[in-house]
């Protein structure tokens, strides 16, 4: 579907517009006619009154999941995020009829970094987890190509076992690029705080007290803002606060940067935000940071919108939901008599392989259009049955993130990792010992190089329904199309899924960031259960296909927006070997 043909498609931008628009206009807009009620995104209501509920209709004695809704996400006015930069070229893109502003990346822009980083002599990188190693090395290498004298220095707590890994990556005490955390904080003009979310919550006061006045705090996640808001606090007023948030885990940020050294603009897209600007430099510094990381394009957001979409996305299609749906489908296929290895190939291998590859390069519609007529019907059955059950959990999850419940949950969980109040420590255990993941080990051990698995139409229908439901929740909550597409699609198929294809979903769940690991363990069972109890039960009862849902999927304006974003993606695909190491250093060391 050409982007130009979708330019007239616009979203309903307010609750008032939603209530007055006709059902036919909503269908033209790519969504089924739904009744909207106004719900606050800043307060958690009871699950009984706030959850999205689908009504069941009966036809010839069989239950069918209908399109009529009791409650749906309230439509929030989308914020148009414009910005001014005196260093980089700002470009307008139109996504599904909405104008947004981006900055394209590229190695040819590295020559502009001295202007962007004016007044910065030292960039401190605090933490050596997922993002720390990747961002520090990318920044260092980008600045080295222009012979910049800006120092990129790693700051670690005394006694940290990560010192050895930082030295192995070329950072040393002798050349002033590796040192104590507090010395690094106090000496940095731009401080990138890349420790875990829970660690930020426990140490932010001491970090703020050590920062220089008029220095710049750089975040790659808005979690700390959410934590401060929950306490009624804010950042110190004598520092600037910015964010550059790569839409992929740290190993992907580094992997694509290295792969693309001969490709101008290869890397992972990033969003950026300026939360506080004390001297007018913040926007250019943030954009320079993103360009130096190798981001193909950088789009604007706010810290609040970022943490809502990011924490939500981790619990949704990026990790938690995909974990839940493959558990449900593997169990279903084996119970129906499918051999275990084939069931694994038709679930995990297909989603992280051929389905993701197709979506990455051609979009969601290409998955559907590649199927035979008979297989399209299976896709439609799965899509129709799964869309609203997935949306119900996604909607609840978004509200829990927005009101601070998930942030508090992460902070409290982090404190349970250690002995406290006379109770023992409860660090997270692994999930990789169950039958499904052992089958996965066997499948990968004999998998031919380049094998992307099987495109099972039912699996594809469930996965795409999940993706579209997440897109719709974010859309109704007012997020920009750039943020929606990156958090719901690009980060999944271009960053996380290739690593999961190489090592398995369980390996990702056991080795990604603490916040994501916690979220996956909490929400994956919810997706598993609701698909089993509602979606698959409806299929077994031969519920009729909801044709409105299928029609809306085929005509949704998001497809045109995805096509525009695809034109901005790097020409190189991420390459992940079977032994790819993305274990966080502290986990690797503890094992």
- Which two tokens mark 521? 């363990």
Q: Are 247 and 490 in contact (CB under 8 A)?
A: yes
Contacts (Cβ under 8 Å, ≥6 apart) of 566: 361, 362, 363
CA gap 317, 490 in Å, rounded: 11
Classify strands 297-300 and 270-276 as parallel, antiparallel or unpaired: parallel
Q: Are 235 and 241 in contact (CB under 8 A)?
A: yes
CA gap 45, 403 in Å, rounded: 10
Residue 211 phi, psi (nearest 5)? -75, 145
Can you tell me whether residue 211 is helix, strand or coil?
Answer: coil
CA 184, 201, 243: angle at the middle one, nearest 5? Answer: 65
The CA distances from residue 395 to 188, 315, 316, 406, 525, in Å, are 40, 11, 10, 13, 16
Q: Are 53 and 72 in contact (CB under 8 A)?
A: no
Residue by residue, DSSP assigns 12-69 as --SHHHHHHS-HHHHHHTTS---------SSSPPPHHHHS--EEEEEETTEEEEEEEE
Q: Are 404 and 308 in contact (CB under 8 A)?
A: no
CA gap 537, 60 in Å, rounded: 16
CA torsion, ordered 491, 494, 499, 502, to nearest 10 deg:
150
Which residue, 90, 484, 499, 452, is CA-closest to 254? 499
Q: Are 171 and 143 in contact (CB under 8 A)?
A: no
Long-range contacts of 47-50 (CB under 8 A, 24+ apart): 47/396, 50/395, 50/396, 50/399
- Which two tokens mark 415? 């404190």
Burial of 92 (0-12, 13-18, 19+ CB in 10 A): exposed
Is 275 part of the annotated catalytic residue set? no
CA torsion, ordered 326, 505, 227, 207, to nearest 10 deg:
180
Identified catalytic residue from 221, 275, 456, 559: 221
Query: Among all residues, which ones are annotated catalytic?
Result: 221
């Amino acid at each position: 579907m050409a982007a130009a043909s979708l330019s007239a498609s616009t979203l309903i931008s307010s609750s008032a517009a939603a209530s007055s628009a006709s059902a036919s206009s909503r269908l033209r807009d790519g969504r089924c006619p739904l009744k909207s009620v106004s719900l606050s995104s800043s307060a958690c209501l009871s699950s009984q009154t706030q959850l999205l509920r689908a009504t069941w209709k009966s036809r010839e004695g069989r239950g069918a999941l209908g399109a009529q809704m009791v409650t749906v996400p309230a439509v929030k006015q989308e914020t148009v995020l414009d910005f001014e930069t005196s260093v980089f070229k700002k470009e307008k893109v139109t996504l599904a009829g909405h104008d947004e502003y981006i900055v394209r990346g590229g190695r040819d822009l590295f020559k502009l970094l001295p202007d962007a980083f004016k007044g910065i002599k030292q960039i401190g990188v605090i933490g050596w987890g997922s993002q720390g190693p990747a961002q520090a090395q990318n920044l260092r290498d980008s600045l080295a190509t222009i012979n910049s004298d800006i120092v990129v220095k790693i700051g670690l707590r005394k006694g940290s076992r990560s010192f050895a890994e930082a030295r192995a990556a070329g950072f040393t005490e002798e050349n002033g690029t590796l040192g104590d955390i507090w010395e690094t904080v106090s000496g940095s003009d731009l401080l990138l705080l890349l420790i875990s979310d829970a660690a930020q919550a426990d140490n932010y006061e001491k970090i703020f007290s050590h920062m220089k006045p008029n220095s710049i705090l750089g975040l790659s996640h808005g979690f700390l803002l959410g934590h401060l808001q929950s306490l009624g606090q804010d950042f110190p007023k004598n520092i600037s606060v910015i964010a550059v948030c790569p839409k992929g885990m740290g190993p992907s940020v580094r992997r694509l940067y290295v792969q693309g050294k001969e490709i101008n603009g290869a890397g992972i897209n990033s969003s950026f935000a300026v939360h506080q600007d004390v001297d007018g430099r913040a926007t250019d510094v943030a954009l320079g940071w993103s360009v130096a990381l190798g981001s193909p394009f950088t789009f604007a957001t706010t810290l609040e919108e970022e943490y809502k979409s990011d924490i939500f996305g981790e619990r949704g299609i990026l990790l938690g939901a995909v974990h839940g749906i493959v558990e449900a489908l593997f169990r279903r296929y084996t119970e129906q008599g499918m051999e275990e290895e084939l069931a694994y190939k038709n679930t995990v291998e297909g989603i992280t392989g051929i389905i993701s590859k197709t979506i990455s390069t051609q979009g969601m519609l290409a998955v559907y259009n590649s199927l035979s007529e008979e297989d399209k019907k299976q896709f439609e059955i799965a899509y129709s049955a799964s869309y609203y059950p997935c949306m119900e959990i996604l909607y609840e999850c978004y509200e829990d993130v927005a009101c601070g419940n998930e942030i508090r949950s992460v902070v409290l969980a982090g404190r349970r990792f250690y002995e406290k109040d006379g109770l023992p420590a409860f660090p997270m255990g692994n999930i990789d010992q169950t039958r499904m993941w052992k089958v996965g080990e066997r499948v990968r051990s004999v998998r031919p190089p380049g094998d992307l698995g099987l495109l099972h139409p039912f699996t594809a229908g469930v996965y795409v329904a999940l993706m579209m439901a997440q897109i719709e929740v974010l859309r109704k909550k007012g997020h920009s199309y750039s943020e929606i597409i990156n958090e719901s699609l690009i980060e999944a198929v271009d960053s996380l899924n290739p690593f999961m294809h190489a090592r398995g979903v369980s390996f990702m769940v056991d080795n990604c960031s603490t916040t994501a690991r916690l979220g996956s363990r909490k929400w994956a069972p919810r997706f598993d259960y609701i698909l089993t109890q509602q979606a698959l039960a409806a299929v077994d009862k031969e519920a009729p296909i909801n044709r409105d849902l299928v029609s809306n999927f085929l005509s949704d304006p998001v497809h045109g927006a995805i096509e525009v974003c695809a034109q901005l993606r790097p020409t190189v695909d991420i390459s992940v070997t079977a032994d790819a190491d993305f274990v966080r250093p502290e986990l690797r060391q503890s094992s």
